[in-house]
Amino acid sequence: MNSTGEHGWEFDLPLKIQALAKDPNRNPFVDPEGYGRFVDRGEAAFLKQIAEQQAR
């Protein structure tokens, strides 16, 4: 899986396109905070799956 996700809605593509149009000197695709949220969601899903499997 790549860091931006498989679908535009996973990483706010429409907002990033608007931001790029507004200020082409700032790259909205370099988004450490957004990447952190993406990683946190993946980790939470992973830990939930582990907990469900261990409860069996």
Residue 14 lies in a domain: yes
| Three-state DSSP class for residue 20 | helix
Tell me the per-residue pLDDT of 2-44, one tens digit each, with 9 for 90 and over. Answer: 445 666 767 788 888 999 999 999 998 888 988 898 899 999 9
Residue 1 lies in a domain: no
d(CA 19, CA 33): 16
Q: What is the pLDDT of residue 47?
A: 98
Residue 49 lies in a domain: yes
Q: How much is the pTM? A: 0.60
Residue 2 lies in a domain: no
The number of distinct structural domains making up the chain is 1
Residue 23 lies in a domain: yes
Q: Which amino acid is at 1?
A: M
Q: Which residue has the tokens 């931001």?
A: 19
| Boundaries of domain holding 44 | 8-54
**Which residue from 25, 23, 28 is spatially nearest to 11, judged by alpha carbons?**
28
Residue 3 lies in a domain: no
Q: Is the dihedral of CA 7, 10, 15, 19 positive or negative?
A: negative
- How many C-beta neighbours within 10 Å does residue 8 have? 13
Q: What is the pLDDT of residue 1?
A: 39
